[in-house]
Structure 1
């Protein structure tokens, strides 16, 4: 009798297979993946060794990938990446391509692969986790003594676009960018000051395993120091009372005010990574390539910071 090794993923779909790949930077939820598959299947670039998936969100083209082995990533990422980017127009992703790299063991290899695709190293980020959030009273409409929280409606789109631009320094969100923000938020809240003026907004969602995710906290710069702490407390209490036994927020290392507040509140550093960026617009991409040529195409491979 001849024994055969059974493939535990033989009957799995593409999403589950990507989750189980060894070489990956992939954080899409199954709902997000299914939405891409239904609406923009051309942004899923499959192959024998792995796949690249593009996700249009908040005017970015977020890139996710997964490969069974390093050699598959090395040999096929660039081609699949370009196929994905070429399916998107500048109008769809005016903020460009964004890849949240998290495959730390393969960083040196990835830097060379990304260089070929004109992906530029950006900011370092860290996932701050609170693994066991204690029970808390359900929050009311007040965030601290000076702010009110209410659910966002379609009438708040202009205000949300304005606050997002002020807090990020990016151009205002397009209509499609706002659609994606609303759609990918399980809960979207607008924060008002005592006078009723919009001061910020908050985007929350959940993930399997009891995770509550603080996706985005956007605050007008003039009130950020006042609002940051009460808004975090409110978000934690809301998530804890709505399925978030543990909570995660990804922040840039340069955001020291957020990092210090999260640490003081009970969060601890988890996974770290680097953001890589590239424009979608061919003219902007050409300018990057021309500048690299003028500098001799030097590739710098450094240690993980």
Structure 2
């Protein structure tokens, strides 16, 4: 007798249904999802075919999604995104919209849809995790590194540090998304935001931004160091400060994402005990209509170039 395969019932609750979707990136907890539905209903689009969530966070919109498969994504993302878009403003998200994709197999089907809606590739990344925080005392704000590094202090960021922080990021990374207004807002909102200051000159030469609001995990949102001050042990000192801060806040583990081509950064995190856990791609879309048109023109031009080449 042929045995029938049991089919699990599809949950009626949209959040639980999303967690069972094959193509998804859902970072919100169920409580946070329900709170967003209650307070910003226009930031959530729910259909039988899928789910879109626009989560405001530190000057950007994190676009989270869930679809049964890439075919359903291609069919329904355009109309669902069109419903969501009017609620998203530059004032709320001056850094635009970010979407994280982790299913490599579906990229050939998903990326053309995103490009048609003015998304462009931002970076490919590796998520690295530290399963257990090391034992330590409290985080020490004063950092004395060896050699010619001198003395530095890792102090709380102020709104008047905004220009210096943007400058550090712009010279430390090939692609920079921070603006002074975004930095000032981030400082005022109150996440752990620290500036590495050269004591001798008073110059801001690096910064560190942490999330400590997750249930058990500390997350390193940003760490940057001016190239003139790299290879002096300062990056490692900042990371050790972050891990000590996580432990002080009662957290048990830590995580971060690093661009795939950042060899020195990956080596440092491995030295501290981090291991690779996941890979993916971040996409970015502006909200300003002029910028949207520029991205669409660039995307169309690159598609023509590819077709001509082959």
With the length of structure 1 as denominator, give the TM-score of the two structures: 0.79
Structure 2, unmatched stretches of 5+, are 1-6, 146-150, 171-175
Of residues 218-227 and 56-65 in structure 1, the stretch that sits farther from structure 2 once superposed is 218-227
Can you list the C-alpha shifts for 1:165-200, whole angstroms capped at 9, x where unaligned?
43144452326x643565372x33333332454433
Change over 3 Å in CA distance of 1:244–1:298 after alignment to 2: farther
CA separation of 1:84 and 1:164: change in aligned 2, threshold 3 A? farther
Is contact 1:23-1:70 (8 Å) kept?
yes
Distance 1:126 1:184, change over 3 A: farther
What is the alpha-carbon distance in structure 2 between the residues aligned to residue 40 and residue 165 of structure 1? 34
Deviations 1:236-261 (A, max 9, x none): 12213333322101111233322121
Alignment correspondent of 1:23: 23
Match of 2:185 in 1: 179
State the alpha-carbon separation in 2 of the partners of residues 189 and 87 from structure 1: 32
Determine helix, strand or coil for the equivalent of 1:27.
coil
Aligned-partner Cα distance in 1 for 2:242–2:114: 36
Is it true that 1:258 corresponds to 2:300 in the alignment? no
Match of 1:199 in 2: 205
Q: Indicate whether 1:280 and 2:287 are aligned.
A: yes
Task: Please list, as runs of the form range in 1=range in 2, the aligned pairs for 1:155-234 lying within 5 A after superposition.
Answer: 156-160=158-162, 162-168=164-170, 169-170=176-177, 172-174=179-181, 178-180=184-186, 182-183=188-189, 185=191, 187-195=192-200, 196-206=202-212, 210-226=216-232, 227-234=234-241
Name the CA shift for 1:144/1:63 in 2 (closer, same or farther; >3 Å).
Answer: farther
Partner of 1:303: none
Residue range with higher mean Cα deviation, 125-134 or 66-75: 66-75
TM-aligned CA deviation for residue 288 of structure 1:
3.3
Q: 1:29-87: CA deviations, max 9, x gaps?
A: 55764664455332212212221112333433321111244443232112222332332
Distance verdict in 2 for CA 1:203–1:136, change over 3 Å:
same
Q: Deviations over 1:89-125 (max 9, x none)?
A: 3444343332121123322221232233232223211
C-alpha distance in 2 between matches for 1:294 and 1:198: 40
The aligned counterpart of 2:46 is 46
| 1:207-257 Cα distance to aligned partner (Å, 9 max, x none) | 656322111223344434442111011111221333332210111123332
**CA RMSD in angstroms, aligned pairs only:** 3.2
SS of structure 2 residue aligned to 1:126: strand
Paired residue secondary structure (2:197): strand
Moved more, 165-174 or 77-86: 165-174
Contact persistence 2:118–2:299 (CA under 8 A) = no
TM-score normalized by the length of structure 2? 0.78
- Residue 23 and residue 115 in structure 1: after superposition, are their counterparts in 2 closer, same or farther (change >3 A)? same
Is the 1:58–1:173 Cα contact (8 Å) retained in structure 2?
no
**How far does residue 262 in structure 1 lie from its aligned partner after superposition?**
0.8
- Which range moves more in the overlay, 191-200 or 245-254? 191-200
1:277, distance to aligned residue in structure 2 (A): 2.1
Structure 1 contact 23–66 (Cα < 8 Å) conserved:
yes
Question: Following the alignment from structure 2 to structure 1, what is the Cα–Cα distance between the partners of residues 87 and 306?
Answer: 28
